[in-house]
Amino acid sequence: MRLASGIDPEEPPIVCSIPARVGLLGNPSDGYGGRTIGLAVRHFEATVSLQPCRGIQIMPSAADALDWGSPGEFARHIDRYGVGNGAQAVAAAARTFLDVLDSLEYGRCDGFSLSYATTIPRQVGLAGSSALILATLMCLEEHSGLSIPRDVLPSIALAAEVEQLGIAAGLQDRVVQTYGGLVAMDFSELEVDARFGVRRGTYRHLDPANLPPLFLAYSLDAAEPSGIYHQSLRHRFDHGDAVVRSTMRQLAGVAVEGEAALRWGNADRFSELIGRNMELRRLLGTAAPKQEALVDIAESLGAFATFAARVAQ
C-alpha cells in the first residue's frame, strides 16, 4: 500500500542525526587558510528522516511554519533568526546532492520525502544549519547507494550553504560534525579531490580526555544571523585588510599551540589560549552586544571564554 503522497508506510525510513559543535581555538580562521580545533556537542542534534516515494517532497517542521500572531512578533522573529529556515537548508542539501550525482554521471536516485527536527538552538553559534545539511546529505547518500569519503562530505555540505544559500562560511563546522569528537583541522594547504572536485583540508582526532573542564552557555535573546558579520570579514580579507590578515595568522597559531598543549596534557595552557582566541576575535570587530555580554559575564567570573565555548579557569 502507498499513501496519496507516494510514500510506502511499510518501508522503513533512513534516519541520520548530526550533533551541534563548538569552535574552541582558531575560529574563524578556517575560511582563510587557518587552523582550528572544534568539539562536537551531542547534547543537541539535528535529525533528518528520508522515506522513498514518488517525486521529491520536503516537509517543513512545525517550528518553521510561516505563521505569527502579530506584525511585531513577525518582525522580532526575522530580526533574531533571519529569513532562512530548516526547510531551506534541507532543500539546499538535496539540490547540491543532485548536482554531485550529475557530475559523477551516477544515475541511481529514486524519489524521496524528507522531514526533519532539531534541538540545536538557532543562531547562537552551534552550527544548526550545517547539521541539517549534513544529516540530509547522509540520508541521500544511503538512499542512492553513493559512497562519499568522510573528508569530502564537509566540503559538499559547505557548497550547499555557499552556492545554494549564499552564506559566507568555512569548513570547520561541517568537519567537526562529520567526524565527531574533538578534531584538529588544518586548512593551510587544501587539496582537491579529483573525483568530487571539491577542496579539503587535513583533519585528525584529538583525545578529549586532555581538555580542561568546559561549560557551554547560550542565550536565545542573543541569537543573531551570522552572515552579515562574516560577509564583512570576507570583504575586508579579500581587499587586503592588514589587521584581518594578521589576526587570521595569529588565530591559526593559537590552534597549533593548543594542539601541543593537549598533547602534553597542559589543560591550564589550553584554557588560557581560549581567552587569547577571544582577544584576537575582538580585533576583527565586535559581535552583537548581547553576544559580547555573554563573554563579559564569563570573564568577570574569572573564566576564559570565547564564542560558542566557555571554559572555567
Q: Show the CA angle centred on residue 92, arms to residues 90 and 96, nearest 5°.
A: 120
CB atoms within 10 A of CB 259: 20
Alpha helices in the chain (DSSP H): 71-81, 86-104, 128-144, 153-159, 165, 172-179, 227-238, 242-263, 267-283, 289-300
Q: 128-144 and 172-179 are packed helices; what angle lies between their axes, rounded to 10 degrees?
A: 50
CA-nearest of 303, 121, 306 to 213 is 303
End-to-end CA distance of the chain: 60
What is the rounded (10 degree) CA torsion for 196, 197, 201, 206?
A: -10
Instruction: State the sign of the Cα–Cα–Cα–Cα dihedral 17, 23, 26, 32.
Output: positive
Which amino acid is it at 23?
G
β-bridge mates for residue 16, sequence order? 48
User: Is residue 153 pLDDT above 90, yes or no?
Assistant: yes
Q: Do 291 and 221 meet the contact criterion of CB atoms below 8 Å apart?
A: no
Q: What proportion of the chain, given as a percentage, has pLDDT over 70?
A: 85
pLDDT for the residue 110: 87
Q: Catalytic residue at 173?
A: yes
pLDDT in tens, 96-152: 999 999 999 887 788 999 999 999 998 788 999 999 999 999 999 999 999 999 999
Which amino acid is it at 289?
P
Residue 313: pLDDT band (50, 70, 90) is: very low
Mean pLDDT score of the chain: 87
User: Is residue 238 pLDDT above 90, yes or no?
Assistant: no
Query: Among 8, 64, 79, 173, which one carries the catalytic annotation?
Result: 173
Whole-angstrom distance, CA of residue 35 vs CA of residue 186: 5
Average pLDDT on 186-209 reads 95
Q: How many helices (H) and strands (E) does the chain have?
A: 10, 9
Question: What is residue 210's three-state secondary structure?
Answer: helix
- Chain-centroid distance, C-alpha 187: 16
Q: Cell 589543560 sits at which residue?
A: 267
Of 203-207, 215-219, 275-279, which range is least confident? Answer: 215-219
Residue 247 grid coordinates: 589576526
pLDDT for the residue 292: 80
pLDDT for the residue 311: 45
pLDDT for the residue 269: 97
Query: Between 59 and 2, where is the model more confident?
Result: 59
Rounded to two decimals, what is the model's pTM?
0.89
Residue 71: pLDDT band (50, 70, 90) is: low
Average pLDDT on 39-54 reads 95
**Identity of the highest mean pLDDT range in 14-23, 69-78, 223-232:** 14-23
Residue 224: pLDDT band (50, 70, 90) is: low
Pairing of strands 35-52, 14-25: antiparallel
CB atoms within 10 A of CB 147: 7
